[in-house]
């Protein structure tokens, strides 16, 4: 497919709304004018990509009403960005103040044009709950055990640190009562951590008594550096 194949259906769509439409004016793919309204600029691409976004942002110096438009197949494959990231792409365009149009084309079916976002200023609403959880995790986490960016092992959260305190105690005592684990590790939520066993580290051998599973034994070695850093540190729950 070529970009020029997108122009006729986009032009027809705008003309049906009363616009006069022309192409390739001063580097803009599509210009639509209706009376004294702000001109609409549409940039065309056969697929969503960074170049299309950058072109759209550049055209915002010419008009407040800028759309990016790209083709999507009638049968979307999982490798298509629109299949995998539709919500994120819409959110990004809204954040940038860009309009978004998709053109669904097929030889055997009529072309379908959908406007997903209209241009306009965008101010994201702050999520106080998520912000609170973010700060809570920051305060509860001991030290800075992760590397910014990609980590080779799972993120060390405050919850994981508490679970590591528990397996460290069980490693030293082979098996123990929940009450003893909670008292000696100062992990107030020890009971919930042991019962939920999110990581598969614990085995209940009797009511209220636990020991390490094979995965727990492996975690002792895998997280030895983290456990050493936690030794002598109080749980943030205290």
Express each pLDDT in 99-112 by its tens digit: 999 998 777 677 88
Q: Could you write out the DSSP letters of every residue in 86-108?
A: HHHHHHHHHHHT-EEEEEEE-SS
Determine the 3-state secondary structure of 74 from DSSP. coil
Is residue 141 one of the residues assigned to a domain? Answer: no
Whether 72 and 95 have beta carbons less than 8 Å apart is answered as no
Number of domains in the chain: 2
Is residue 44 one of the residues assigned to a domain? Answer: yes
The beta-strand segments (E) located in 13-151 are 20-25, 28-33, 40-45, 65-73, 99-105, 112-117
Q: Are residues 161 and 113 in the same domain?
A: no
Is residue 168 one of the residues assigned to a domain? Answer: yes
Q: Are residues 9 and 113 in the same domain?
A: yes
Mean per-residue pLDDT of the chain: 88
Q: Are residues 113 and 10 in the same domain?
A: yes
Q: Are residues 27 and 111 in the same domain?
A: yes
Distance in angstroms (rounded) separating the CA atoms of residues 31 and 172: 74
Which tokens in the block code for residue 150?
A: 């990609």
- Over residues 124-138, the pLDDT tens digits come to 677 888 888 888 888
Q: Are residues 7 and 81 in the same domain?
A: yes
Q: Are residues 164 and 92 in the same domain?
A: no
Is residue 83 one of the residues assigned to a domain? Answer: yes
Predicted confidence band of residue 197 (pLDDT cuts 50, 70, 90): very high
Look up the CATH number of the domain holding residue 104.
3.40.1350.60
- Over residues 158-188, the pLDDT tens digits come to 999 999 999 999 999 989 999 999 999 999 9
Last residue of a domain, one of 67, 96, 117: 117
Is residue 205 one of the residues assigned to a domain? Answer: yes
- Over residues 55-111, the pLDDT tens digits come to 999 999 999 999 999 998 777 677 777 888 899 999 999 999 999 999 987 776 778
The C-alpha R_g of the chain, in whole angstroms, comes to: 28
Is residue 147 one of the residues assigned to a domain? Answer: no
Q: Phi/psi of residue 190, each to 5°? A: -55, -40
Q: Are residues 79 and 163 in the same domain?
A: no
Residue 103: which of 66, 73, 59, 75 has the closest Cα?
73
Determine the 3-state secondary structure of 187 from DSSP. coil
Identify the domain containing residue 191 by its residue range.
153-229
Last residue of a domain, one of 117, 141, 175: 117
Which tokens in the block code for residue 54?
A: 């950058």
Is residue 163 one of the residues assigned to a domain? Answer: yes
Helices and strands (H and E) in the chain: how many: 9, 9
Does the global pTM surpass 0.85? no
Q: Are residues 104 and 163 in the same domain?
A: no
Evaluated on CA atoms 143, 149, 151, 157, the torsion sign reads positive
Is residue 139 one of the residues assigned to a domain? Answer: no
- Over residues 45-55, the pLDDT tens digits come to 999 999 999 99
Q: Are residues 86 and 42 in the same domain?
A: yes
């Amino acid at each position: 497919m070529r970009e020029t194949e997108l122009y006729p259906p986009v032009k027809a769509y705008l003309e049906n709304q009363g616009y006069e439409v022309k192409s390739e004016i001063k580097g803009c793919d599509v210009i639509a004018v209706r009376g004294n309204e702000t001109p609409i600029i549409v940039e065309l691409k056969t697929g969503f990509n960074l170049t299309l976004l950058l072109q759209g942002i550049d055209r915002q110096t010419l008009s407040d009403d800028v759309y990016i438009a790209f083709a999507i197949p009638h049968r979307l494959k999982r490798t298509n960005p629109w299949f995998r990231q539709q919500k994120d792409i819409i959110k990004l365009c809204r954040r940038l103040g860009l309009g978004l149009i998709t053109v669904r084309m097929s030889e055997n079916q009529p072309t379908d044009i959908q406007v997903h976002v209209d241009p306009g200023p965008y101010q994201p609403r702050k999520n106080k709950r998520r912000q609170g959880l973010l700060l809570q995790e920051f305060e509860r986490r001991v030290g800075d055990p992760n590397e910014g960016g990609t980590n080779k092992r799972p993120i060390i959260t405050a919850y994981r640190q508490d679970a590591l305190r528990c397996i460290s105690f069980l490693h030293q005592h082979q098996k123990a009562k929940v009450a003893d684990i909670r008292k000696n590790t100062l992990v107030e939520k020890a009971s919930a951590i042991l019962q939920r066993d999110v990581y598969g580290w614990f085995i209940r051998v009797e009511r209220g008594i636990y020991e390490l599973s094979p995965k727990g034994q492996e975690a002792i070695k895998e997280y030895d550096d983290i456990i050493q850093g936690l030794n002598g540190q109080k749980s943030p729950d205290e």
